[in-house]
A and B are shown apart, each in its own frame.
Chain A
Amino acid sequence: AQSVTQPDIHITVSEGASLELRCNYSYGATPYLFWYVQSPGQGLQLLLKYFSGDTLVQGIKGFEAEFKRSQSSFNLRKPSVHWSDAAEYFCAVENSGYALNFGKGTSLLVTP
């Protein structure tokens, strides 16, 4: 069955440090891949997406992600984290029928 795994439930990083959030998927073909961010009490905002082509994709707020077919991964990265990046991050895979299959999320805490 198709699934999306975010291995880290919580991550804590210091402000200014680099960040990598992991996402692995299980799917037969190359799926469409997304990263969303959710601030407390808010809806979901799209950070970036991968459909095809260049496997390193740039998103908003200085985020990037790299699609690695051999590892079935789509990890999210940021070189220098800001306090405002504290939020919950969701990796998602587009299912057949256009529905999104979400991971369970990673909660990011940024310390001074």
Chain B
Amino acid sequence: NAGVTQTPKFQVLKTGQSMTLQCAQDMNHEYMSWYRQDPGMGLRLIHYSVGAGITDQGEVPNGYNVSRSTTEDFPLRLLSAAPSQTSVYFCASSYVSGDTEAFFGQGTRLTVV
């Protein structure tokens, strides 16, 4: 049981480049989300999805796009990378019910130069 898998683990981008951070889970969780972690800021929600075909914005969505074509996958797209997007990104998944817990991937460390 792999849980939540994020790829790549590390990435360096130049300003203006685009890329996709991949997230896959094998637990048949309906709910998936993306967070970014910055020093002293905790984790902030970027986008989330409660099921295939359904996505919504979190606290800090600007500069990011998501889609959810399958239950398993929830990719995060950076359309035109900016230095302010330098961060560690975490994907999480859980069941859509009251008393459940979120499972996190190992993170993607992104640097934009």
The interface of chain A, by Cβ under 8 A from chain B, is: 9, 32, 34, 36, 42-46, 49, 51-52, 90, 97-105
Most buried by B among A32, A51, A100, A105: A100
Are B98 and A32 in contact, CB atoms less than 8 angstroms apart? yes
Are B40 and A98 in contact, CB atoms less than 8 angstroms apart? no
Q: Tell me which residues from 34 to 62 in chain B have a Cβ below 8 Å from any Cβ of chain A.
A: 35, 40-45, 48, 50, 56, 58
Name the one of B33, B99, B107 contacting A99, with C-beta atoms under 8 angstroms. Answer: B33
Check: B75 CB closer than 8 A to any chain A CB: no
Specify the chain A residue showing the minimal Cβ separation from B95: A98
Name the one of A45, A98, A102 contacting B94, with C-beta atoms under 8 angstroms. Answer: A98
The CA-CA distance from A46 to B4 in the complex, in Å, is 14
Given A43-B107, A44-B104: A98 and B43 interface contact (C-beta under 8 Å)? no
The CA-CA distance from A102 to B59 in the complex, in Å, is 12
Are B104 and A43 in contact, CB atoms less than 8 angstroms apart? yes
Can you add 13 more A-B contacts, CB < 8 Å, to A46-B102, A102-B42? A32-B98, A34-B101, A36-B104, A90-B42, A90-B43, A97-B48, A98-B31, A99-B33, A99-B45, A99-B58, A100-B33, A103-B42, A104-B40
Specify the chain B residue showing the minimal Cβ separation from A44: B104
The CA-CA distance from A42 to B98 in the complex, in Å, is 27
Chain B residues, Cβ within 8 Å of A43: 90, 104-107
Name the one of B50, B100, B102, B107 contacting A97, with C-beta atoms under 8 angstroms. Answer: B50
